[in-house]
């Protein structure tokens, strides 16, 4: 019997698409919803399913930012053969994304037993939601919004890239929350911080999804459920990206801070009353 049915895959695809790029933790929300639906969250095929439907969300980034990505790749290819082209900021930025992805890959492979084991507890998710909210609030207080995307440096990319490790180790912290907060602390404006978070997520999330594909298709989850969850995730994530970019142009992130605290406290309540298993 499949660990995840098609109907459950639709629900999880919606949750993934809505939360992957909002600073609220997609992993935390998925684990919570899986727990409420009595899905075995420690099953390798379920862990793999979660990672693979993230690819649907990341494909939405490729589609939404296609022109930007094509520009980066074009600049990078020109720079490989033309020394003068290597002064182009887009060429440098593409290398910085590659460099900034290396730390999370190394930690992800080394700490996988912990990530899939004790760090996957819903208690960790609840605590990370609340602690991560504090980090986001502090980042808003420290932010000066002085620099645009054109002024991003290698140091910015490395700091933001390394901050993804927080979300990797502590599900509930939120990859986008960690990266956007770090970028704000580095004095990037909200739009630059948000776009940098998107671009740095491309290789990390795509790699994670492909790496986990073998577990997702190992027999615990049907191919149909996997395909449906990924498609739904793509459609919902595309709409979520468009909304977030419009939102950050005029608003701070305090709405998400409040929401995360509420969800974290609610999750603690569900755990204490044994409504969901940790």
- Asked, for residue 252, whether it belongs to a domain, the answer is yes
Determine the average pLDDT of the residues in 50-77.
92
- Asked, for residue 183, whether it belongs to a domain, the answer is yes
Q: What backbone phi and psi angles, to 5 degrees, belong to 78?
A: -65, -40
- Asked, for residue 57, whether it belongs to a domain, the answer is yes
Q: Mean pLDDT over all residues of the chain? A: 89
- Asked, for residue 1, whether it belongs to a domain, the answer is no
- Asked, for residue 277, whether it belongs to a domain, the answer is no
How high is the pLDDT of residue 196?
94
Pick 222 or 185 by higher pLDDT. Answer: 185
How high is the pLDDT of residue 218?
59
pTM: 0.88
Pick 213 or 203 by higher pLDDT. Answer: 203
Determine the average pLDDT of the residues in 127-134.
94
Determine the average pLDDT of the residues in 160-174.
92
How high is the pLDDT of residue 216?
62
Q: How many CA atoms lie within 13 A of 159 on its CB side?
A: 15
Give how many domains the chain has, as a whole number: 1
Reported as a pLDDT band with limits 50, 70 and 90, residue 215 is low
Determine the average pLDDT of the residues in 17-29.
88
- Asked, for residue 48, whether it belongs to a domain, the answer is yes
Residue 1 has pLDDT above 60, yes or no: no
Query: What is the extent of the structural domain holding 202?
Result: 6-272
Residue 219 has pLDDT above 70, yes or no: no
Reported as a pLDDT band with limits 50, 70 and 90, residue 220 is low
d(C-alpha 32, C-alpha 29), whole Å: 5
d(C-alpha 47, C-alpha 215), whole Å: 8
d(C-alpha 202, C-alpha 49), whole Å: 18
């Amino acid at each position: 019997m499949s660990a995840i049915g098609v109907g459950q895959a639709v629900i999880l695809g919606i949750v993934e698409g809505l939360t992957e790029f909002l600073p609220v933790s997609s992993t935390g929300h998925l684990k919570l919803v899986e727990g409420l639906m009595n899905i075995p969250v420690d099953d390798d095929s379920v862990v793999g399913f979660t990672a693979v439907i993230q690819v649907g969300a990341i494909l939405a980034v490729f589609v939404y930012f296609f022109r930007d990505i094509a520009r980066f790749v074009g600049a990078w290819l020109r720079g490989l053969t033309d020394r003068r082209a290597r002064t182009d900021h887009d060429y440098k930025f593409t290398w910085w994304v590659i460099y900034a992805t290396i730390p999370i890959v190394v930690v992800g492979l080394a700490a996988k037993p912990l990530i899939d084991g004790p760090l996957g507890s819903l208690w960790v998710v609840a605590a990370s939601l609340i602690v991560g909210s504090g980090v986001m609030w502090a980042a808003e207080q420290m932010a000066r919004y002085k620099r645009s995307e054109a002024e991003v440096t290698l140091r910015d990319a490395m700091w933001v890239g390394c901050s993804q490790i927080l979300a990797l180790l502590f599900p509930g912290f939120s990859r986008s929350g960690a990266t956007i907060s770090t970028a704000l602390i580095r004095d990037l404006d909200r739009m630059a911080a948000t776009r940098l978070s998107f671009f740095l997520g491309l290789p990390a999330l795509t790699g994670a999804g492909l790496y986990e594909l073998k577990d997702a298709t190992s027999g615990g989850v049907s191919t149909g459920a996997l395909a449906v969850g990924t498609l739904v995730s793509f459609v919902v994530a595309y709409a979520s990206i468009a909304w977030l970019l419009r939102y950050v142009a005029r608003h701070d992130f305090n709405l998400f801070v409040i929401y995360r605290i509420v969800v974290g406290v609610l999750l603690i309540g569900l755990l204490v009353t044994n409504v969901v298993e940790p």
